[in-house]
Structure 1
Amino acid sequence: MTTPRWSVGINFDSKCNARCAHCCVSSSPDATANLDDQLVDRIVDQLLDCPEVREIGLTGGEPLIRRRRTVQLIGRITAAGRGVSCVTNGFWGVTQRAADRVLSELEESGLRELTVSFDDFHSQYISVDRIRNILEAARDRRIRIVVNVCVSTTKDASGLLQELGASLDGIQVTKFPVVPAGEARHLEDSEFRRRPITEGMLYCPGTQVIFHNDGFVYPCCSPSIFDTDMTLGRVDEDVRELVGRVERNALLGILRREGFRWFLDAIRSAAPDSPAATVTEVVSPCELCSIIFRDRTAVEAIRPLVDEYLARNRATT
């Protein structure tokens, strides 16, 4: 019996009611990138045919703009015995009663975890009251709520969290730094909370295959990778083949075994003047990954070292 081990995300639509300056996937009311419903249905069907898939995450854009469609997808996934998560900005929490109505639909469809993105950037479009309504309504529901807070140098969301007060009791709040991806590339450079690269930043936090609304499949859920050529293929290819490429990709294999240190050392040797060779500070391991793999000249320069590494490891296994 195969043990379920894959976590897969589907970013099926870029449309969002908000236009946040830090949006790492450039979502907005007039964004048009999307995966059509028929294609998403096929992707979900193929994922559910894979016993290795343990969880499917739905994100955007704002998935609950199309609430009926999202609830339908959640129901199909949970009916097949798989876990499902969803990300939202909470625009629908107009009143506590309205929030409870949406949470009831999500709960009945089988959803057990809902991530609410809220911070100083979102608060220009979504009021604190709407998020509070959701948190309070969730106390009567079995859905686990996680609040994701994106922070920059001048926007740490401390005031918003204080306003939410006791409604956050028992709620997991995760803070993470803004990364220079998507719309956030236009922020002042001083907004990014970069730190010197430490040993702990030299390892990938993990992979989650993402079917993205730009038509490509990526080996990671970090928006930083969407700016690189590190794709597994097109979204309309066979799902099992796409996910299997995570295991067979040479660069990802080296990354899993050696971490980013191997790539930095190789690039500093083969392309010492490249951006990846000279980087000393990053926001996170995900930004470091992006800097390395979007540097096409550097990646091409280390190809002989990659081939040598693979040949050496084949000889010893």
Structure 2
Amino acid sequence: MTRISNGENASAVFDLGLMQIQISANTAAERNMQTGVQPTSLTILPTYKCNASCRDCCFQSNPRLSTRLSGKAILDRINEAKAKFPSIRQIIFSGGEALLLKGDLHDAVRLASELGLGTRLVSNGFWGKRQQTSEAFARDLRTSGLKELNLSTGLDHQEFVPEESIVQAAAAAISQRITTLITVEVDSAESKCLESLLAHPSIHTLNNTGLLRIISNSWMPYDSSESARHAPNSGTQLRKGCSQIFNNITIKPNDRLSACCGLTLERIPELDLGANSGNNMRELYDAQQDDLMKIWLHLDGPHQIISASTPGHLQSKLDDVVHICQACTLLHRDPEIAAYAQAAAVRMMPELITRFTIRVEADKHLKRGVTHVQP
């Protein structure tokens, strides 16, 4: 972790010819107030327990795990996030399988809705096995105020939750006017999960509602020797800045705060921001403003950082990378790559802070609807 430190009062002036930007603040919190960096979403991972045991699951989820957030803790964190971050617009519930929390999940969705926040649930669709059950689940979710449902499926998932359950869960949700996304992991050379789903007779009907979208995402191995699988246009996505850092905050089942909700967050200690005390969420979030590597991740993403800061023999390790979270793990866990990147971040500190400040200021103007620049 490379932090900005220029004594008690951090101050820097960067001359860009026609523009001069000055940052002067005593603390990360004060700098944050100046630059206007604010999260727009809160992700709650209330449990890693799942009724499936998918191979290479990012969180190694399975039915035997027991650590979880209590119902009270979930409600408290939602209330705190709303009070400390007026910029938050959406709460995302994922896991594990968040629906295993039953009433606690519905209470959390209801609270978020009452606070005027959007709500999204990520689920494996286990509850779509029978029509009556799926309709009851969807009805309860809608009554709680759920706005969006994301269903995860593909080769690994379908060992535990068949395609028919996914389709039936989607149909039940859409019947309740819940916007639904089905994410299919990229197929292997032998599997045809996406093709089969698109050919399902019910999918055409659901597509006509305007409430269903289906996408295919890259699949990355975690602990097995299986080959990664590229999604179309994954190369373009790999080379972008990380949209999670600074824009999202995540609460894990152990009630610790994370800088992102990425697939490999538990494998990268630097993403852990600290334990929630009940009133320190703002402080934990603000403290990361001093971390140059997070600023660089936000701007360029891990793939570009590795490409820009390491010699060729290390860049070749990117050849098998198909997902931005996979690149982030490589950046933090490969000692040689991490050392080169940290040294480069120090050398590039003026450039990184300047670019970050310009981007934040530009975003603020765009949000205010600025459409022209006066000569």
TM, length-normalised to structure 2? 0.72
Q: Residues 273 and 288 of structure 2 are in contact (CA less than 8 Å); yes or no, is this contact kept in structure 1? A: no
**Secondary structure of the residue that 2:271 maps to in structure 1?**
coil
Match for 2:332: what amino acid? F
Post-superposition offset of 1:256? 2.9
Cα RMSD, aligned residues only? 3.0
Q: Deviations over 1:51-93 (max 9, x none)?
A: 1111110111111112211101000111011111111111122
**Secondary structure of the residue that 1:64 maps to in structure 2?**
helix
**More deviation in 113-122 or 69-78?**
113-122
Post-superposition offset of 1:194? 8.7
State the match for 2:19 in structure 1. none
Post-superposition offset of 1:206? 1.1
Match for 1:240: what amino acid? R
2:57 pairs with 1:16: no
2:217 pairs with 1:176: yes
Q: Spell out the pairing of 1:101-140 with structure 2 (5 A cutoff).
A: 101-140=136-175
2:72 pairs with 1:58: no
State the match for 2:365 in structure 1. none
Post-superposition offset of 1:112? 0.8
Q: Residues 153 and 193 of structure 1 are in contact (CA less than 8 Å); yes or no, is this contact kept in structure 2? A: no
Task: Report which of the two structures shows the higher radius of gyration computed on alpha carbons.
Answer: 2
State the match for 1:48 in structure 2. 82
**Secondary structure of the residue that 1:242 maps to in structure 2?**
helix
State the match for 1:164 in structure 2. 200
- Separation in 2 of the partners of 1:177 and 1:111? 27
Segments of structure 2 that go 5 or more residues without pairing to the other structure are 1-35, 358-375
Q: Residues 204 and 285 of structure 1 are in contact (CA less than 8 Å); yes or no, is this contact kept in structure 2? A: no
What stretches of structure 1 move > 6 A for 4+ residues in a row?
Answer: 194-197, 314-317
- Separation in 2 of the partners of 1:93 and 1:205? 33
TM, length-normalised to structure 1? 0.84
**Secondary structure of the residue that 2:276 maps to in structure 1?**
coil
Q: Residues 20 and 122 of structure 1 are in contact (CA less than 8 Å); yes or no, is this contact kept in structure 2? A: yes
Post-superposition offset of 1:139? 3.8
Count of residue pairs brought into register by the alignment = 308
State the match for 1:261 in structure 2. 304
2:262 pairs with 1:250: no
Q: Residues 195 and 283 of structure 1 are in contact (CA less than 8 Å); yes or no, is this contact kept in structure 2? A: no
State the match for 1:231 in structure 2. 271
- Separation in 1 of the partners of 2:199 and 2:106? 30
Is the alpha carbon distance of 1:72 and 1:315 closer, same or farther for their aligned partners in structure 2, counting shifts above 3 Å?
A: closer
Post-superposition offset of 1:200? 5.1
Counterpart selection for 1:151 from 186, 206, 211: 186
State the match for 2:227 in structure 1. 190
Match for 1:282: what amino acid? V
2:119 pairs with 1:77: no
Match for 1:84: what amino acid? T
Q: Deviations over 1:207-247 (max 9, x none)?
A: 13222225543322221343223314124152112333454
Percent of paired sites with the same residue? 19
**More deviation in 199-208 or 99-108?**
199-208
Q: Residues 90 and 131 of structure 1 are in contact (CA less than 8 Å); yes or no, is this contact kept in structure 2? A: yes
State the match for 2:176 in structure 1. 141
Match for 2:93: what amino acid? L
State the match for 1:291 in structure 2. 330
- Separation in 1 of the partners of 2:235 and 2:145? 41
Post-superposition offset of 1:312? 5.7
- Separation in 2 of the partners of 1:116 and 1:257? 30
Q: Residues 151 and 177 of structure 1 are in contact (CA less than 8 Å); yes or no, is this contact kept in structure 2? A: yes
**Secondary structure of the residue that 1:105 maps to in structure 2?**
helix
Segments of structure 1 that go 5 or more residues without pairing to the other structure are none
- Separation in 2 of the partners of 1:262 and 1:25? 25
**Secondary structure of the residue that 2:102 maps to in structure 1?**
helix
- Separation in 1 of the partners of 2:231 and 2:307? 18
Is the alpha carbon distance of 1:195 and 1:59 closer, same or farther for their aligned partners in structure 2, counting shifts above 3 Å?
A: closer
State the match for 2:346 in structure 1. 307
